[in-house]
């Protein structure tokens, strides 16, 4: 071979090797500076595959290094039941973060940006194991949620049969507190009963017979208002705006941006086989969405809805989700305090408890 | 271009003379080889970035370098200034060419079957149409157009397309002689060959008599493209590799500077219907792209992205009808309105040259609309070609997005109107009657108004 040809071939070979090497280095996942294991996490809309990792395993007390990016739209990375602020993930930009979990357990990471109709499906698990073998047993002995203890059917319709003619006002009801029986002011009564049940019970009290129906509803509103505080409501307002308003709407009417154009949820249709009539009415896309269980949620400002639901029932719905709707489960994401604040906040849509609390 | 300094009395840059005065940039094979090696390495990097890099287009070298940097440079620099100068450094045919000629530099042991390109594919007949290579290229360009919305934004698809193209080109080199892929299939080759005729550079023989007396035809034997430089009527088929200059024993080939658009002016011995169709398809494509990507119709854009859906089928049919039938048909109609014609196909071919300046201006104006705004992505992806958060050269964070909202429309309008004037001149010269010229000009005016509406608003 002639010398120029040889030089040319070597030159070409080296250039191609350099280009190829760059590709190989880039193709190796989690390549990058830093020590320890790095998990590479890609956020994608659920339609595009959701989180690239379903489960991240870690050991208690040991750091987890995450390199995160979004492959499509703006997402964010947050951890349930934690005060850690969410990390926004912009398409193609990389974010790094280090997490340490002191306690073994299952933690949920999720997206807090309304990235699409199935936004709420963007959940993943961080499984933290520890030396402590008792942890699992501990988790088992944890108190059962009230809805399980009461054996409530979360899927059954729970519309109130009796509803007030005007919006109940806790402010007006406050004046009646002295006249209310002791059980009415008991927290346990609040937790286990719907406003309607409590109202019906009070209606049977001879001592309150002089009160008209509306005044009695005001008393019930006060009973509900007593169970929360301005701080709790403020916190719940933030949680609602971030997590719930996308579907339930800012005013609770069930008209959030994510459910625009979807059929209204009808509890009577749950578990019915074949939604033929619905499917025929809807176009292709909408049909696909309704088959995925997406529907516009009920209207909280319709008194039938919330006045017929007990806090225990609402807690169950929040914890477990489902009900044949697109309602996510929030158990691993909200703390007990957050859950409690949020439930009290929801009743505001049906009763004016806000002013009294302030 | 400084090496191409031309003296007025002497249009030939490189006069026959002592070898020591020969410009090594032209007479040495090394500069071109180094450029090709670099583009080939870049091509490999592009494929790897497409396949393994970030799925976010704006962060991926493959998308930014192919569809922003290269596609812009091709239309704003390579073609208007250098003709098919991109073809001279294009990496796609190189592996096949090196293997089939048995080495990087010619003279090795040839490998491959070296068959001639089958006649059925070049000169087959479909009804009244003679199927020359550019029919395939027109079809290829239309295919690119159909899937462009997705290819342009999906790095992996870009990677696969490029890989497929280089493998195809390589395979064809082993079976057929010369640049089979470039000459007959490369859709960009059709586009480039068409508008290369505007370039102010040409490779031509100095004295045809010398060639006529030369029996070996060394230039033709060595031309990778199979072009006989003596017979060149225009820049269209010439890949600007300058091999003919290097091998001519009489030093009778030169690279010349010339006035812009010289090929548009010079009368031609023959004109081909397939080239006229290619020019019309290119015109239709640039209008369709402008409508899809820059026009005010969101529904249209969405349909273009949903490849395979019912909406996309409608879009695809509309696109093909528009670029393949409506725009050519409108031209045919106006030609006919311009006066009676003997044979329609022949007239289409004969009067097609005014379409070239019109199309070139439309493509340049279209390119301006996104090029400057998107060029800001180029520096960051150089430092982070795979979109992995690297910063190899410290340019990953460079934010440079010039505000071109004022200058851009002015420039586009100027280019489009310039193209229309140029077209008008060409029409007056080419048309057989003043009436015909007028109708060709009306066609140009309609296209220009449509482009102005789409680009400038």
pLDDT tens, position by position, B385-441: 888 888 888 888 887 777 778 888 999 999 999 999 999 988 888 888 899 999 999
Measure A31 CA to nearest chain B CA, in Å.
9
CA distance A186 to A166: 25
* B135 or B94: which leads in pLDDT: B94
Averaged pLDDT score across all residues of chain A: 83
pLDDT tens digits, one per residue of B172-191: 999 998 888 998 888 888 88
CA distances for B75 relative to B93, B199, B420, angstroms: 20, 11, 18
- Matching CATH number, A38-131, of 3.30.365.10, 1.10.3720.10, 3.30.479.10, 2.60.40.420: 2.60.40.420
pLDDT at A133 over 60: no
Q: Which residue has the higher pLDDT, B390 or A36?
A: B390
**Distances in whole angstroms, Cα of residue B396 to Cα of each of A12, B64, B73, B357, B422:** 27, 13, 21, 39, 42
Which of A249-253, A270-274, B133-137, B372-376 is the most confident on average? Answer: A249-253
Give yes or no for residue A274 having a pLDDT over 60: no
Beta pairing, strands A63-70 & A38-43: parallel
pLDDT over 80 (residue A149): yes
**For the residues of B233-299, what is the DSSP string, one character each?**
-SSTT-----HHHHH-TT--EEEEE--TTHHHHS--S---HHHHHHHHHHHHHHHHHIIIIISS-HH
Rg (CA), chain B: 22
Over range B268-286, report the average pLDDT. 82
| Contact (CB<8Å) A22/B386 | yes
Name the residue in chain B with its Cα closest to that of A90: B56
Please give the backbone phi and psi of residue A232, each rounded to the nearest 5 degrees, phi first: -65, -40
Q: Which residues of B touch A15 (CB under 8 A)?
A: 37-38, 40-41
Query: Count of CB atoms within 10 A of residue A293's CB?
Result: 14
Amino acid B110: pLDDT: 84
Q: Long-range pairs for A34-38 at CB < 8 Å and ≥24 separation?
A: A34/A65, A34/A96, A36/A63, A36/A65, A37/A65, A38/A65, A38/A66, A38/A67
Q: Is the pLDDT of residue A271 over 70?
A: no
Query: Average pLDDT, stretch B80-88?
Result: 94
What strands lie across the sheet with A105-110, from one edge to the other? A55-59, A123-129, A105-110, A75-79, A87-89
- Chain B contacts of A32, Cβ < 8 Å? 388-389
Phi then psi dihedrals of residue B387, to 5 deg: 65, 45
Indicate whether A277 pLDDT > 60: no
- A44-58, A103-117, A259-273, B78-92: segment of lowest average pLDDT: A259-273
- Domains in chain B: boundaries: 9-102+151-265, 273-386+396-455
A91 contact residues in B (CB cutoff 8 A): 56, 58-59
CB contact under 8 A, A94 and B389: yes
Average pLDDT over residues A262-288: 49
Q: Does domain A143-358 have CATH number 3.40.1010.10?
A: no
Percent of chain B with pLDDT over 90: 45
A219-251: per-residue pLDDT in tens? Answer: 999 999 999 998 999 999 999 998 899 889 999
Chain position carrying tokens 């795979």: B386
Optimal mutation site among B32, B39, B104, B246, interface A, most CBs of chain A within 10 A: B104
Nearest chain A residue to B45 by CA distance is A19
Phi and psi torsions of A64, nearest 5°: -110, 125
**Coil, strand or helix at A63:** strand
B394 CB-contact burial (10 Å; exposed 0-12 / middle 13-18 / buried 19+): exposed
Q: What is the pLDDT of residues B312-331, one digit of tens each?
A: 999 999 999 999 899 999 99
Angle at CA B272, nearest 5°, toward B271 and B274?
155
Contact A92 B104 (CB under 8 A): no
Q: Please determine, for residue B66, whether its predicted confidence score (pLDDT) is greater than 50.
A: yes
pLDDT surpasses 70 at A284:
no
- Name the interface residues of A facing B (CB cutoff 8 Å): 1-2, 4-5, 8-9, 11-12, 15-16, 18-20, 22-23, 26-27, 31-32, 67, 69-72, 91-94
Q: What is the mean pLDDT of residues A186-191?
A: 90
CB contact under 8 A, A23 and B37: no
Check whether A266 has a pLDDT greater than 80.
Answer: no
For the segment A79-91, what is each residue's pLDDT rounded down to a tens digit? 988 888 889 999 9
Q: Which residues of A311-341 are buried (b: 16+ CB within 10 A; e: fewer)?
A: bbbbbbbbbbbebebbbbebbbbbeeebbbb
B18 pLDDT exceeds 50?
no
| B395 three-class SS | coil
Q: What gap in Å lies between CA A283 and CA A271, rounded to an integer?
A: 22
CB A118 within 8 A of CB A47: yes
Q: DSSP letters along B24-40, please?
A: HHHH-SHHHHHHHHHHH
B389 contacts in chain A (CB < 8 Å)? 32, 67, 69, 93-94
Which pLDDT band holds residue B343 (cuts at 50, 70, 90)?
Answer: confident
A125-129, B3-7, B310-314, B321-325: lowest mean pLDDT where?
A: B3-7
Kindly report which listed range (A28-32, A258-262, B364-368, B377-381) carries the lowest average pLDDT score.
A28-32
- Per the CB < 8 Å rule, is A31 touching B388? yes
pLDDT digits (tens, 9 = 90+) for B199-223: 999 999 999 999 999 988 999 999 9
Q: Which residues in chain A have their CB less than 8 angstroms from residue B40's CB?
A: 12, 15-16
- CB-CB neighbors (< 8 A) of B41 in chain A: 15-16, 18-19
Give the whole-angstrom CA distance, residue B226 versus residue B242. 13
pLDDT at A29: 57
Q: Which residue has the higher pLDDT, A35 or B37?
A: B37
Q: How confident is the model at residue A286 (pLDDT cuts 50, 70, 90)?
A: very low
Residue B383 near residue B62, CB atoms below 8 Å: no
ipTM: 0.83
Q: In the numeric block, which tokens belong to residue A310?
A: 């007990």
Mean pLDDT of A37-66: 88
CB A106 within 8 A of CB A129: no
Q: How far is Cα B427 from Cα B191, in angstroms, rounded to an integer?
A: 21
> Highest mean pLDDT range out of A156-160, A197-201, A272-276, B112-116?
A197-201
pLDDT for B58: 86
Cβ separation A15–B40 shorter than 8 A: yes
Q: Do A19 and B48 touch (CB under 8 A)?
A: yes
What mean pLDDT, rounded, does chain B reach? 85
Q: How many whole angstroms from its chain centre is CA B106?
A: 26
Instruction: Report how far residue A103's alpha carbon sits from residue A126's, in angstroms, rounded to the nearest whole number.
Output: 12
The confidence band for B127, taking pLDDT boundaries of 50, 70 and 90, is very low
On the question of pLDDT at A279 being above 60, the answer is: no
CA distance B300 to B311: 9
Overall average pLDDT of the A44-58 stretch: 89
Residue of A nearest to B98 (CA): A9
Torsion angle, CA of B342/B343/B345/B346, rounded to 10 degrees? -70
pLDDT for the residue B270: 62
The predicted pLDDT at position A136 comes to 54
Buried b (16+ CB within 10 A) or exposed e, B243-261: bbbbbbeebbbbbbeeeeb
What phi, psi does A264 have (nearest 5°)?
-70, 135
Total-model pTM: 0.77
């Amino acid at each position: 071979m002639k010398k120029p040809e040889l030089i040319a071939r070597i030159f070409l070979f080296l250039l191609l090797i350099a280009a190829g090497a760059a590709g190989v280095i880039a193709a190796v996942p989690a390549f990058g500076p830093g020590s320890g294991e790095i998990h590479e996490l890609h956020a994608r809309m659920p339609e595009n595959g959701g989180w690239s990792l379903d489960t991240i395993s870690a050991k208690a007390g040991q750091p987890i290094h995450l390199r995160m990016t979004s492959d499509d739209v703006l997402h964010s990375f947050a951890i349930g039941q934690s005060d850690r602020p969410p990390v926004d993930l912009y398409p193609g930009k990389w974010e790094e973060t280090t997490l340490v979990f002191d306690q073994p357990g299952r933690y949920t990471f999720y997206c807090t940006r309304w990235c699409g109709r199935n936004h709420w499906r963007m959940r993943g698990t961080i499984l933290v194991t520890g030396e402590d073998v008792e942890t699992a047993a501990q988790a088992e002995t944890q108190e059962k949620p009230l809805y399980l203890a009461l054996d409530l059917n979360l899927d059954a319709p729970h519309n109130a049969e009796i509803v007030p003619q005007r919006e109940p006002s806790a402010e007006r009801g406050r004046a009646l507190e002295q006249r209310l029986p002791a059980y009415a002011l008991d927290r346990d009564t609040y937790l286990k009963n719907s406003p309607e049940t409590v109202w019906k019970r009070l209606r049977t009290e001879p001592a309150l017979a002089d009160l008209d129906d509306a005044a009695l509803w005001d008393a019930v509103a006060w009973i509900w208002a007593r169970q929360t505080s301005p701080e709790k409501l403020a916190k719940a307002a933030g949680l609602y705006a971030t997590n719930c308003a996308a579907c339930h709407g800012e005013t609770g009417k069930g008209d959030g941006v994510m459910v625009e154009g979807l059929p209204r949820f009808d509890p009577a249709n749950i578990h019915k086989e074949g939604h033929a009539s619905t499917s025929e009415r809807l176009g292709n896309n909408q049909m696909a969405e309704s088959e995925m269980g997406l529907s516009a949620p009920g209207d909280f400002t319709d008194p039938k809805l919330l006045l017929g639901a007990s806090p225990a029932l609402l807690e169950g719905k929040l914890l477990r989700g489902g009900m044949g709707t697109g309602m996510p489960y929030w158990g691993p994401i909200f703390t007990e305090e957050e859950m409690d604040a949020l439930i009290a906040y929801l009743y505001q849509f049906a009763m004016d408890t806000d002013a009294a609390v302030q | 271009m400084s090496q191409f300094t031309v003296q007025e009395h002497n249009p030939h840059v490189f006069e026959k003379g002592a070898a020591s005065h020969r410009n090594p940039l032209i007479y040495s094979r090394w500069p071109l080889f180094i450029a090709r090696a670099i583009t080939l390495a870049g091509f490999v990097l592009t494929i790897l970035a497409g396949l393994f890099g970030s799925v976010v287009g704006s962060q991926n070298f493959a998308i930014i370098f192919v569809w922003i940097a290269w596609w812009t440079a091709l239309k704003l620099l390579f073609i208007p200034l250098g003709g098919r100068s991109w073809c001279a450094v294009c990496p796609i045919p190189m592996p096949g060419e090196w293997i089939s000629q048995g080495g990087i530099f010619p003279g090795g042991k040839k490998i491959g079957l070296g068959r001639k390109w089958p006649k059925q594919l070049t000169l087959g007949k479909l009804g009244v149409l003679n199927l020359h290579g550019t029919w395939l290229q027109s079809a290829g360009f239309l295919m690119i157009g159909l899937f462009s919305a997705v290819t342009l934004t999906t790095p992996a698809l870009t990677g696969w397309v490029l890989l497929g193209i280089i493998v195809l080109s390589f395979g064809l080199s082993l079976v057929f002689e010369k640049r089979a892929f470039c000459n007959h299939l490369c859709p960009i080759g059709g586009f480039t060959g068409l508008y290369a005729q505007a370039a102010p550079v040409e490779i031509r023989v100095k004295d045809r008599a010398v060639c006529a007396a030369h029996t070996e035809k060394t230039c033709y034997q060595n031309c990778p493209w199979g072009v006989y430089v003596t017979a060149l009527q225009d820049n269209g088929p010439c890949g600007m590799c300058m091999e003919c200059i290097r091998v001519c024993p009489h030093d009778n080939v030169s690279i010349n500077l010339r006035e812009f658009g010289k090929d548009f002016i010079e009368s031609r011995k023959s004109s081909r219907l397939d080239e006229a169709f290619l020019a019309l398809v290119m015109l239709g494509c640039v209008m369709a792209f402008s409508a899809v990507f820059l026009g005010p119709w969101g529904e249209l854009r969405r349909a273009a992205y949903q490849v395979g859906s019912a909406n996309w089928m409608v879009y695809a049919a509309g696109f093909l009808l528009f670029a393949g039938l409506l725009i050519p048909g409108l031209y045919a109609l106006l030609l006919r309105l311009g006066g009676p014609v003997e044979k329609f196909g022949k007239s289409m071919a004969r009067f097609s040259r005014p379409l070239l300046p019109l199309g070139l201006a439309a493509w340049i104006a279209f390119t301006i609309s996104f090029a400057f705004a998107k060029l800001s992505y180029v520096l960051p992806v150089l430092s982070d070609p795979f979109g992995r958060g690297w910063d190899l050269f410290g340019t990953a964070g460079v934010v440079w997005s010039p505000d071109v909202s004022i200058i851009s429309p002015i420039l586009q309008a100027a280019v489009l109107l310039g193209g229309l004037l140029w077209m008008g001149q060409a029409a007056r010269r080419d048309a057989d009657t003043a009436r015909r010229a007028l109708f060709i000009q009306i066609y140009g005016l309609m296209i220009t108004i449509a482009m102005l509406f789409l680009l400038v608003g």
